[in-house]
């Protein structure tokens, strides 16, 4: 392409400081260096983790940054040493690397990787190095991705090549939320056929967890949320029951225990709230119940009575649904193309990058499941 090897000037939504609206700016995106790929972002979802960094985490060293980490796009150019990708490839940027060489990548027990921001930068949620500048200042790449920009630069170990026929404005959701929830049920909880499950929180991640429970063959799936408007959507993804904690004057764990003769086999917390995490654990059946922490947060300690675990429950966490990123995302794209998993049903709003603050406010007040932003034309 004519832009290869050159600095690209483009539009991006910059978070200059925490707890403030994003600003659409003209930024400079440097050419890819060794083992890097520059990507034209076509579409991106707005995920709660973007809001977490902006309004909750608010780490002083995490700004200015370009947010966004749930995108899809087209390779514009590649740096030296890149053989896996070429201009024109359809790709999904990944916030978890898969180098295939480190001890984590070589282990079937985890999807973690020793390389990339996620290795030890959970507080700042970005590496110090960046290919972005704006008004003479370095701008951080949030979660190593920054999909609220027309162009971004990624290391090739954090990019997945996908089916060129896949619609980018749909499969972008596989960059975070849908894989996270679906995989939490299928890969991490390992939901079994005929089991009972409870999913706490019915945003995109929670609904994807419901879908994962159904996919795995659960016979009864309780969708738990304080918003009664989520009930109908939950049934679309496979929920058999909707439970609103506000409808009861007893703990939700006791409600579920009474409805299931002791508790569910699997529970998944998809909110990122430490109190809900405990409720989800206590909703599990003693002896064999498994509870998975899916919701992202690093603000508070959580707690439980030791007897909850002594009695045989398992409490575990998941990142990106346990998917090894470069392997798992193309598989999920294939599953979508074969109509084995849903994506379209998650999307409640479509907007443009210039409307990003409107999309953020919509999510803050619970007015959407997923908003997809059109970033640039294909």
Within a domain: 6: no
Helices (H) and strands (E) in the chain, counts: 11, 18
SS (H, E, C) 15-45: ECCCCCCCEEEEEEECCCCCCEEEEEEEEEE
Cα gap 34→41, rounded to integer Å = 20
- Strands 196-200 and 220-224 come out as parallel
pLDDT of residue 52: 80
Within a domain: 174: no
Using the structure block, give the residue that is written with the tokens 């390779």.
Answer: 75
Within a domain: 115: no
- pLDDT (tens, 9 = 90+) of the chain, 378 residues, equals 688 889 999 999 999 998 899 999 999 999 999 999 999 999 999 988 888 878 887 677 789 999 999 999 999 999 999 999 999 999 999 999 999 999 999 999 999 999 876 656 556 666 768 899 999 999 999 988 999 999 999 999 999 999 999 999 999 999 999 999 999 999 999 999 999 999 999 999 999 999 999 999 999 999 999 999 999 999 999 999 999 999 999 999 999 999 999 999 999 999 989 999 999 999 999 999 999 999 987 778 989 999 999 999 999 999 999 999 999 999 999 999 999 999 999 999 999 999 999 999 999 888 889 999 999 877
Within a domain: 119: no
Domain that holds residue 305: 181-321
Within a domain: 207: yes
Q: Tell me if 313 sits within 8 A of 289, measured CB to CB.
A: yes
Within a domain: 276: yes
Q: Tell me if 62 sits within 8 A of 127, measured CB to CB.
A: no
Query: Residue 253 belongs to a domain with what CATH number?
Result: 3.40.50.720
Within a domain: 298: yes
Q: Can you give the pTM of this predicted structure?
A: 0.94
What is the count of structural domains for the chain? 1
Six-digit token pair at 201?
């929180």
pLDDT of residue 123: 60
Within a domain: 354: no
- Beta bridge partner(s), residue 371: 349
């Amino acid at each position: 392409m004519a832009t290869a090897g050159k600095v690209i000037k483009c539009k991006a939504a910059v978070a200059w400081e925490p707890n403030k609206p994003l600003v659409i700016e003209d930024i400079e995106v440097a050419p890819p260096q060794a083992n890097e790929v520059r990507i034209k972002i076509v579409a991106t979802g707005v995920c709660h983790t973007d809001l977490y960094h902006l309004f909750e985490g608010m780490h002083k060293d995490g700004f200015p940054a370009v947010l966004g980490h749930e995108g899809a796009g087209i390779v514009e150019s590649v740096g030296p040493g890149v053989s896996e990708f070429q201009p024109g490839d359809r790709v999904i940027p990944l916030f978890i690397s898969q180098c295939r060489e480190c001890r984590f990548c070589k282990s079937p027990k985890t999807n973690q990787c020793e390389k990339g921001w996620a290795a030890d930068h959970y507080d700042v949620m970005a590496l110090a190095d960046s290919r972005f500048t704006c008004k003479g200042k370095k701008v951080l790449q949030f979660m190593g991705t920054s999909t609220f920009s027309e162009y971004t630069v990624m290391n090739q170990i954090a990019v997945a090549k996908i089916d060129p026929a896949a619609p980018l404005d749909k499969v972008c959701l596989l960059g975070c939320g849908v894989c996270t929830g679906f995989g939490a049920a299928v890969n991490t909880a390992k939901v079994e056929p005929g089991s009972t499950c409870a999913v706490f929180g019915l945003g995109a991640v929670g609904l994807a967890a419901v879908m994962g429970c159904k996919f795995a063959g659960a016979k009864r799936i309780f969708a738990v949320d304080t918003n009664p408007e989520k009930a109908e959507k939950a049934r679309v993804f496979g929920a058999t029951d909707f439970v609103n904690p506000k409808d009861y004057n007893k703990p939700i764990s006791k409600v579920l225990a009474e409805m299931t003769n002791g508790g569910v086999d699997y529970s998944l917390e998809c909110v990122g709230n430490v109190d809900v995490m405990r409720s989800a654990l206590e909703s599990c059946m003693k002896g064999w119940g498994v509870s998975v922490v899916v919701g992202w947060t690093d603000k508070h300690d959580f707690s439980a009575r030791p007897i909850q675990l002594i009695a045989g429950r398992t409490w575990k966490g998941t990142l990106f649904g346990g998917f090894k990123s470069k392997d798992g995302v193309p598989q999920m794209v294939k599953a979508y193309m074969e109509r084995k998993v849903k994506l379209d049903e998650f999307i409640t709003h479509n907007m443009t990058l210039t409307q990003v603050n409107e999309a953020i406010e919509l999510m803050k007040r619970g007015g959407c499941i997923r908003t997809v932003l059109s970033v640039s034309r294909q």
